[in-house]
Structure 1
Amino acid sequence: MTRASVLAGRSIRISRRNVDALITSIVLPVMLMLTFVVFFGGAIDTGTSTTYVTYVVPGVLLLCAGFGSASTAVSVSEDMKTGIVDRFRALDIGGLPLLAGHVAASVARNLLATAIVLAVALAIGFRPSAGPAGWAAAVALLAAWIVAVSWLSAAAGLLARTPEAANGYTFFMMFLPYPSSAFVPVATMPVWLHGFAEEQPVTPMIESLRALLLGEPAGGTPWVALAWCGGILAVAMLLTGALFRRRTA
């Protein structure tokens, strides 16, 4: 744990020096939110009594996590490319502390970006009505998602041979909120898309965050979302272990 915390500090210091990537992971979700709310919001009927900005914010928070996790794949790939991993192995530092450090830094970056995006959302009219318990549950669920996708991004960084390819591999995670209930209800999509949109992991996450932040009944949806997070995390950790051993064999 001590090694992981030291390596997390190293990753955070690298992030501070890579200001462009940090700003991009914050600015892009904000710009997308403003685009949907200001340009398209008046033309979109969600079939609910909430304003469009209130409807769309949970999806933007998931988008923010996707953009932020992309830098994890890039930083892991850069470590594998530069040879720093061999130096760490000479110091008897294994793959788990190194990758855990990258993930911990990713979680810190993502939580900061999420707070900024949420502040902008409040400024343009987002009005959550959740109590302390609802906020705590929403933050915990969002943190679980960020941890899961950060480990998955670390696996992408190990799979890719170049940082540029690693960034491209994370596109799928950034795309997933679009065919979901993030921006429009699933019922408004083509019929052939309903099955995927309803069953993919992002939809229960968004529905859970929306219900928790608005103080509405969430039913068992948060547990479904949490199960998805646990499944993604387990697969990603197994995958990173196998890929790290293969890359360093």
Structure 2
Amino acid sequence: MTSTIAIDSAVMLRRNLKHVLRSPDSMITAIALPVMLMLLFVYVFGGAINTGSEYIDYVVPGIILLCAGFGASTTAVSVSSDMKDGVIDRFRTLAISPSSVLTGHVLASVVRNVLTTAIVVVVALIMGFRPTSDPLRWLGVAAVIVAFVFAMSYLSTALGLLAKNPEAASGFTFAIMFLPYVSTAFVPAETMPSWLQGFARHQPVTPIIETVRGLLLGTPLGNSAAIALAWCLGIAAAGFVWSNWLYRRKTAS
């Protein structure tokens, strides 16, 4: 049974990756938006923001998470499009595992977003980003990013199933895109209004950003890595349960 699910998931993964290759505009957008924001913050706002270090070194970890979050949110649109176009009804007539349909979307999201994030990191290095991490810490960064994308992708899958159409799915994922802006991605939390600092420090994205920043730049991690892992596991578990429940409910008839 397990091997069957794995094979079916691999088939769905290949299907979704083919869709990505046939829609290069979505890949270009996923890369262009974070790069444009990085250019904006570094060259336009960076001179006015004091973080105690080179601003590009401070902001790149946040841009990396923003890139990953944006890419994961597009999964909601893909899932909603499948539901609206009727392809799910076609899948129901085939001898495939129902869960493999969702797993294929999530795994394709991970592959797509790891690639786009790597391109954004290369652009950041060209712009002057200078991490001090060793190969082991780079592996840690990759693991954190994959865990974050995996969690956000499952949450986006659930939102795509919840939405009535792709346009609504895109709107539902707005919160995912908004969270990095109210975190320590672009400015330290202590520079924000006092009523906002608590939310900025304790929302899911901040410990993940601080973990990536610490691994890349050698700053103290504290307990941010454990908190980041807990958030990723919690979001992934909630997204998995929610998306599979919604999928069974929508395909029950």
TM-score by length of 2: 0.96
Letter in 2 for 1:125: G
- Distance across 1 between alignment mates of 2:155 and 2:183: 20
Aligned residue among 5, 9, 12 for 1:4: 9
Residues 110-129 of structure 1 mapped to structure 2, 5 A cutoff: 110-129=113-132
**Aligned-pair distance for 1:108?**
0.8
How many residues are treated as equivalent by the alignment?
A: 247
Q: Who is 1:164 aligned against? A: 167
**Aligned-pair distance for 1:89?**
1.3
SS at 2:78 equivalent:
helix
- The CA deviation string for residues 137-183 of structure 1, in whole angstroms up to 9 with x for no partner, is 11101110000001111111100111111111111101100010000
Aligned residue among 19, 25, 31 for 2:30: 25
Q: Who is 2:3 aligned against? A: none
Pair 1:239 & 2:242 matched? yes
Pair 1:187 & 2:190 matched? yes
Q: Who is 1:72 aligned against? A: 75
Q: Give the share of equivalent positions with the same residue, in percent.
A: 55
SS at 1:127 equivalent:
coil
Q: Who is 1:196 aligned against? A: 199
- The CA deviation string for residues 93-114 of structure 1, in whole angstroms up to 9 with x for no partner, is 2431001101111111101110
- The CA deviation string for residues 46-81 of structure 1, in whole angstroms up to 9 with x for no partner, is 1x2x20000000100111012111221111011111
Letter in 2 for 1:107: V
Q: Detail structure 1 runs of 4+ shifted over 3 Å in the superposition.
A: none
Query: CA contact under 8 A between 2:73 and 2:152: conserved in structure 1?
Result: no
Gaps of 5+ in 2: 1-5
- Distance across 2 between alignment mates of 1:216 and 1:192: 26
Q: Give the RMSD, CA atoms, in angstroms.
A: 0.9
- Distance across 2 between alignment mates of 1:193 and 1:153: 26
- Distance across 1 between alignment mates of 2:175 and 2:213: 23
Pair 1:34 & 2:44 matched? no
TM-score by length of 1: 0.97
Aligned residue among 127, 134, 139 for 1:136: 139
Letter in 1 for 2:168: A
Gaps of 5+ in 1: none
Letter in 1 for 2:113: N
Query: CA contact under 8 A between 1:131 and 1:215: conserved in structure 2?
Result: no
**Aligned-pair distance for 1:92?**
2.9
